[in-house]
Amino acid sequence: MLALYRCGRQADALQTYIDVKRLLAERLGVDPGATLRERYELILRADASLARVQDRAGGAEAPARHPRQLPRAASVLVGRAEELVRLRSLLSPWDGGSPQAVIAITGAPGAGKSALAVQAAHASSHAFPDGQLYVNLQGATPGVERLKPIEVLGRLLRALGLPGEAVPSDEDEAAAVLRDRLEERRTLILLDDAAGPEQVRALLGLPCGNTVLITSRESHAVTDDCVQLVLGRLLRSEAVTMLAKLVGAERIAADPAAAGRLAHLCDLLPLALRLAAARLAERPDWTVRDLGTRLEDRRRTLHELESGRSAVRSSLELSYEGLANGGELDRLAARTMCHLGVLHVASLTAELVSALLGEPVDAAERALDRLARAHLVEISEPGRYRLHDLVRLFTIELADARLTPEARKDALMGALGFYGATARRASTMLDPHRVQLPWSAVPQRPLELGTVDEARDWLAEELPDVIAAASQAMQSEDDDVARLGAYAGFALTWQLVRGAHRHEQRDLNRQALGVGERTGDQEILSLAHGQIANALLNLGRAAEALPHQQAELELRRALRDGFGEMRALGNMGVTLLKLERYAEARERTEAQRAIAREIGSEVGERHSLLTEATACRRLGDLTAAMSLLGAGLALAQAAGDRYHEAGGLMSLSELCLERGDPRTAKSYLERGLRVAREIGYRVSECESLAMLARVHRLLNEPAQALAYAREALAARQRSVDESLSRVAEDELRAIETAFPGLAPSRPRSAHAALTG
């Protein structure tokens, strides 16, 4: 009736009342209510109160309202200088042009999106003389239903002076009225805490000169004509400054190191920092270090970051619940969050999450992308995701609360199976001649790796995460999980050897030894003893390695494992060489070769020939050493075994030097260096470079000698093997002694040489 009257159709409006009155009598037996009767009488009289907002005397539009609804800007806003400059340039362009139509500030819960938006809106308010409107969309407000688009439109239209009864009930019509009201105006509308693009879509497309500024946890990259600013974490210095402003500079300055640690425990997020500051304000008897110590107990971190009604946990819970109650993809993303808490690794891939969930890879990828749009995970590089520390703690709580023990076990077993199977495949692709340790198979397909380079890259990138997963699993009270963790660690054997990750190899296999002892698994015990011995040997602790190798040999014999016995004998021979027990080493390698020929193990035969050659050389039998080396190297080259080829070439160069033939040694070393670099064998690379420096020194070629010595130090840095630095430093010292006028003064340590 009102719409018809305002369109100039008074008769139609009155007829509508008559129609309604008749229908009510026929269908319900009642008369129209008081409100409807009053409206009829007003229309009948053409009452002036029914007109649109006008000057009743002259019929002109009433003066436009210029609302100023922005909340007060935060008293403490530290950092974000770059983001503020960017926002001001979009809201109030330096050239006086029109402001950006839509701007979205997105980011993780607690990143300070609203505070930044309000600050930027105040700073640019002069560019919007017709008003600044504010609506909290309640997209992530605990216990409150998010506003519907029509409700938001109603609030905006009323703020712009439209009477409540004049606000259309249809969303599209209300949006059209809003556009009409804002024509030829410059107004800023801040829509805070949007649930996502759908909640604000009807509010966009405003006339040029008006701007909609949105804050949201969800990505708005798909929103038309929108510039999105993703808010990350604060810098460490900014976070500490924020704490100082909230807590007091003296209290923070009393222990700067503890303040920096506290900032990182809060994940450098403003909400967590504010809550930490509130906890310190509540407990004046605590030092900054006291609170940091409490937060370091990751089981209670989220509990500590609570104050009043504010909490990091509740903020994250709301994001999770929003997904869990959403559509199919959102529910999958919520389920993914639960499963992410099962595995404690630094980075994630779709393939790994697929194994965790037991879902296809494309489904896992869609779930991760959905979480990324919600800023619950971040994309660290293409195809790789990571969790903020506080989100990680929340996912661990989710996994414990929402998944059954069986579901958690299945997820962890799936991830371990994926890691172990892929590590074995990648290692085999890199060097098919190396013996892969036995594998406790689970029904999990490895990642498809097309090339050797892909295999090398996967092992290099995933190594820390596979180590972390294996270590986590071996601490499990479930024997099945612990065993699979041990085997996942065994699958890394050759990558740990190639990269000279000695300490990681030792520590991981000490855990495996504990699993073997706890479960009585002799296979795991044997493998762990052998791996610990290998690590200790390469750490320069051969005497400690020998008992482990003896234990491995006895276990292999008890298991009647001929191949395992052969390998144990060969490894023991290498250790005896390091202990300068050359005759015993020769005996072990001869026994190894006998078994290798009996069972047809070519790799065992090659190993025994090369090891025995070194024993003979150290015993002074250079002729026998040369013969054994020639045979071993020929077998390695025929088989394409680059690892043994590199070792054989190194041994030949050492033999040539003992014979006083540095030029021939140089030729072997250059070949060996090429092989070592091609297969990524960093230990051999570093040793070859140091030996080449020695050869050039002996050939009286100081410049080349110095260059190779420095290159050896650089190679040592890449290998993270401290023992190799001694080899390079010793040669550098010898060069300085031989050619005192050539090289600059030698650094006091390998570390100084590498960083100076």
Q: How many domains does the chain have?
A: 4
What are the percentages of helix, strand and coil residues in the chain, rounded to 5?
65, 5, 30
pLDDT at 745: 43
Six-digit token string for 317: 């819970």
CATH code of 732's domain: 1.25.40.10
266 & 183 share domain: no
170 & 222 share domain: yes
pLDDT at 307: 57
**Overall average pLDDT of the 548-566 stretch:** 93
Q: Is residue 424 part of a domain?
A: no
Q: Is residue 494 part of a domain?
A: no
Six-digit token string for 308: 């009043």
105 & 219 share domain: yes
User: H or E segment at 407?
Assistant: helix 405-430
Q: Does 593 score more than 60 pLDDT?
A: yes
pLDDT at 392: 84
165 & 249 share domain: no
**Overall average pLDDT of the 84-101 stretch:** 89
Question: To the nearest whole number, what is the mean pLDDT of the chain?
Answer: 85
Phi-psi domain of 383 (left: phi exceeds 0; alpha: psi -120 through 50; beta: other): left
652 & 732 share domain: yes
Q: Is residue 124 part of a domain?
A: yes
**∠431-436-441 over CA atoms, to 5°?**
130
Q: Is residue 369 part of a domain?
A: no
Q: Is residue 456 part of a domain?
A: no
Q: Is residue 223 part of a domain?
A: yes
634-682 per-position pLDDT tens digit: 999 998 888 899 889 989 998 898 888 999 999 999 999 998 888 888 7
Residues 6+ apart with CB under 8 A from 416: 442, 469, 470, 473, 481, 484, 485, 488
Which of 33, 50, 67 is the endpoint of a domain? 50
Percent of the chain with pLDDT over 90: 37
Confidence of residue 326 (pLDDT cuts 50, 70, 90): confident
Name the one residue in this structure whose structure tokens are 């109650």: 325
133 & 212 share domain: yes
Which of 251, 276, 308 is the endpoint of a domain? 308
Q: Is residue 199 part of a domain?
A: yes
200 & 148 share domain: yes
226 & 249 share domain: no
pLDDT at 627: 92
Which of 308, 340, 359 is the endpoint of a domain? 308
Q: Is residue 619 part of a domain?
A: no
pLDDT at 720: 52
If we measure between CA atoms, which residue out of 474, 537, 462 comes closest to residue 505?
A: 537
pLDDT at 755: 27
26 & 115 share domain: no
If we measure between CA atoms, which residue out of 690, 686, 747, 746 comes closest to residue 720?
A: 686
Length of the chain: 756
Q: Which is it for strands 384-386 and 378-381: parallel, antiparallel or unpaired?
A: antiparallel
Q: Is the dihedral of CA 283, 288, 291, 293 positive or negative?
A: negative
Q: Does 231 score more than 90 pLDDT?
A: no
CATH code of 178's domain: 3.40.50.300
134 & 159 share domain: yes
pLDDT at 56: 40
pLDDT at 42: 81
23 & 160 share domain: no
**∠235-369-463 over CA atoms, to 5°?**
70
**Overall average pLDDT of the 560-581 stretch:** 92
Q: Is the dihedral of CA 128, 130, 132, 134 positive or negative?
A: negative
**Three-state secondary structure call for residue 104:** strand
Q: Rounded to whole angstroms, how far apart are CA atoms 395 and 444? A: 24
Q: Does 756 score more than 60 pLDDT?
A: no
CB 232 within 8 A of CB 107: yes
Q: According to DSSP H, which parts of 561-661 are helical?
A: 562-578, 582-599, 602-618, 622-639, 642-658
Q: Does 380 score more than 50 pLDDT?
A: yes
Q: Rounded to whole angstroms, how far apart are CA atoms 481 and 186? A: 63
Domain of 724?
A: 641-755
24 & 119 share domain: no
